């Protein structure tokens, strides 16, 4: 791999929010915020993808930081390259992305068996569960991983309504998206070996010019969610409600709008991804393993949760040192990336290891 590790600054994308088919009740009706994963097509696709993933060494990912003023909105720019004729992998549950396809085109299978095909300029809505994808290569793409604030400010779309879909960026952002795509592709064709910095500068200008102002009170709630998630591997939802001046139902609506899921499912998603990161650390102690596995009801519960969020079983993730997803879940990302990602909470086993 080139540049930073795959997870550098992109873990905000992985720390997104999966669901299990539970329905959040608001007002007089019910709203299916979190998609079920019992669909046979989705299950078979995840199983098939895990069995035939494209080798990580055939992929190259370079990460580039956004301008300082955009860091609350863009966690990273990325340049992905793979010259295989067919690329198969699984996208972990993730926040939204803006993607410019440089070469290749693909499709993604979402819950309920729906398949969306890519656009030359694609807005990938937040994914609530791991989503298998395949691409007719060679596959080269440049994009931006958007924070919760970034998705709202750039697109104006509610994350829960845009989730689990690939959108035509031109339809959402206007013809400027196509102009950006044409400029990025032209620059890439002139220099296919680029490190991506010139592409990042183009994207900076595009994003900066289109950010909408967000309600200050909403931004405060997003900050409270980040702090709450960082307080524990399994923080009580009531603690989030207590930290806000809004009612619980109002907090639920704001969290859904910006993160694409309910507070309860945010906890599940963040717990699963952080547990994988911590279990993957070299020399992890028995005390740490015990503390982490105790965060789940039992071993089968842990396996189901991790598989649903990452598209991999724990044994596959921990055995495959070069896994793209495992690199995404590198523990260093949780410790180094601020302010967009909630920090790792301190565990009792940390004191035992000291």
The predicted structure's pLDDT at residue 47: 58
Q: Quick check: is 31 in a domain? A: no
343-354 confidence digits (pLDDT tens):
556 655 555 554
Do residues 194 and 306 both lie within one domain? no
Phi, psi of 208 (to 5 degrees): -55, -40
Question: What is the CATH classification number for the domain harbouring 275?
Answer: 1.10.10.60
Q: Quick check: is 5 in a domain? A: no
The predicted structure's pLDDT at residue 91: 82
Do residues 206 and 253 both lie within one domain? no
Do residues 273 and 334 both lie within one domain? yes
Percent of the chain with pLDDT over 90: 47
Q: Quick check: is 101 in a domain? A: yes
Instruction: Name the average pLDDT for the chain.
Output: 79
The predicted structure's pLDDT at residue 5: 34
User: In the beta sheet, which residues pair with residue 106?
Assistant: 135
Do residues 205 and 251 both lie within one domain? no
CA–CA separation, 94 and 83 (whole Å): 24
239-274 confidence digits (pLDDT tens):
999 999 999 999 999 999 999 999 998 888 888 877
Provide the b/e sequence for 79-115 (b: ≥16 CB within 10 Å). bbbbebeebbbbbbbbbbbbbbbbbbebebbbbeeee
Q: Quick check: is 76 in a domain? A: yes
Do residues 159 and 223 both lie within one domain? no
Do residues 73 and 195 both lie within one domain? yes
What total number of domains does the chain contain? Answer: 2
Mean pLDDT calculated for residue range 291-295: 82
Long-range CB pairs of 236-244 (<8 Å, 24+ gap) are 237/263, 237/264, 237/267
Domain end position, chosen among 210, 245, 269: 210
The predicted structure's pLDDT at residue 32: 37
The predicted structure's pLDDT at residue 290: 79
224-248 confidence digits (pLDDT tens):
998 998 888 889 999 999 999 999 9
Q: Which two tokens stand for residue 259?
A: 């993160």
Domain end position, chosen among 182, 210, 238: 210
Task: For residue 143, give the nearest of 118, 165, 163 by alpha carbon.
Answer: 118
Q: Which of 15-24, 30-39, 211-220 has the lowest mean pLDDT?
A: 15-24
Phi-psi region of 136 (alpha: psi -120 to 50; beta: other; left: phi over 0): beta
Q: Quick check: is 346 in a domain? A: yes
Do residues 165 and 105 both lie within one domain? yes
User: In the beta sheet, which residues pair with residue 55?
Assistant: none
Residue 342 has pLDDT above 70, yes or no: no
The predicted structure's pLDDT at residue 24: 25
Domain end position, chosen among 210, 230, 248: 210
Q: Quick check: is 27 in a domain? A: no
Do residues 220 and 205 both lie within one domain? no
Do residues 283 and 203 both lie within one domain? no
Question: What is the CATH classification number for the domain harbouring 134?
Answer: 2.60.120.10
CA–CA separation, 32 and 24 (whole Å): 6
User: What pTM, to 2 d.p., does this model score?
Assistant: 0.79
Q: Quick check: is 29 in a domain? A: no
Do residues 71 and 106 both lie within one domain? yes
Do residues 186 and 294 both lie within one domain? no
Do residues 176 and 48 both lie within one domain? yes
Percent of the chain with pLDDT over 70: 74
310-335 confidence digits (pLDDT tens):
787 776 666 655 444 544 444 444 43
Task: For residue 54, give the nearest of 84, 80, 81, 78 by alpha carbon.
Answer: 84
- Are the beta carbons of 312 and 50 closer than 8 angstroms? yes
- Burial label for 303, CB within 10 Å (0-12, 13-18, 19+), is middle
CA–CA separation, 110 and 168 (whole Å): 17
87-139 confidence digits (pLDDT tens):
988 887 777 999 999 999 999 998 777 899 999 999 999 888 888 899 999 99
Q: Quick check: is 166 in a domain? A: yes
Which 3-state string (H, E, C) describes the chain? CCCCCCCCCCHHHHCCCCCCCCCEEECCEEECCCCCCCCHHHHHHHHHHHHCCCCHHHEEEEEECCCHHHCCCEEEEEEEEECCCEEEEEECCECCEEEEEEEEEEEEECHHHCEEECCCEEEECCECCCEEEEEEEEEEEEEEEECHHHHHHHHCCCHHHHCCCEEEHHHHHCCHHHHHHHHHHHHHHHCCCCCCHHHHHHHHHHHHHHCCCCCHHHHHHHHHHHHHHCCCCCCCHHHHHHHCCCCHHHHHHHHHHHHCCCHHHHHHHHHHHHHHHHHCCCCCCHHHHHHHHCCCCCHHHHHHHHHHHHCCCHHHHHHCCCCHHHHHCCHHHHHHCCCCCCCCCCCHHHHHHC
Mean pLDDT calculated for residue range 190-195: 96
User: In the beta sheet, which residues pair with residue 80?
Assistant: 61, 141
Residue 48 has pLDDT above 80, yes or no: no
Q: Which domain holds residue 239?
A: 216-353
């Amino acid at each position: 791999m080139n540049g930073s590790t795959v997870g550098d600054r992109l873990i905000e994308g992985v720390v997104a929010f999966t669901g299990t088919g539970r329905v959040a009740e608001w007002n007089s009706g019910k709203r299916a915020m979190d998609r079920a994963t019992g669909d046979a097509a989705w299950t078979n696709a995840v199983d098939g993808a895990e069995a035939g993933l494209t080798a990580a060494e055939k992929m190259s990912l370079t990460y580039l930081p956004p301008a300082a003023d955009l860091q609350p909105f863009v966690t990273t720019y990325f340049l992905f390259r793979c010259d295989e004729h067919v690329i198969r992998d699984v996208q972990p549950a993730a926040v939204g992305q803006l993607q410019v396809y440089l070469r290749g085109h693909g499709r993604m299978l979402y819950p309920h068996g729906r398949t969306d095909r890519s656009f030359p300029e694609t807005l990938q809505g937040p994914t609530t569960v791991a989503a298998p994808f395949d691409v007719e290569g060679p596959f080269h793409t440049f994009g931006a991983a958007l924070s919760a604030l970034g998705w709202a400010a750039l697109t104006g779309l509610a994350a829960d309504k845009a989730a689990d879909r690939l959108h035509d960026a031109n339809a959402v952002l206007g013809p400027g998206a196509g102009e950006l795509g044409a400029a990025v592709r032209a620059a890439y064709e002139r220099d296919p070996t680029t490190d991506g910095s010139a592409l990042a500068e183009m994207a900076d200008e595009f994003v900066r010019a289109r950010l909408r102002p967000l309600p200050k009170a909403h931004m405060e709630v997003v900050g409270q969610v980040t702090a709450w998630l960082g307080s524990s591997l399994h923080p009580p939802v009531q603690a989030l409600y207590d930290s806000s001046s809004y009612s619980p139902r109002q907090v639920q609506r704001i969290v859904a709008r910006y993160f694409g899921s309910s507070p309860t499912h945010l906890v599940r998603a963040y717990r699963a991804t952080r547990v994988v990161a911590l279990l993957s650390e070299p020399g992890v102690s028995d005390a740490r393993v015990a503390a982490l596995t105790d965060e789940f009801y039992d071993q089968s519960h842990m396996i189901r949760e991790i598989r649903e969020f990452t598209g991999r079983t724990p044994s596959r993730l921990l055995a495959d040192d070069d896994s793209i997803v495992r690199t995404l879940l590198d523990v260093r990302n949780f410790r180094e990336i601020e302010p967009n990602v909630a920090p790792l909470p301190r565990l009792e086993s940390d004191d035992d290891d000291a």
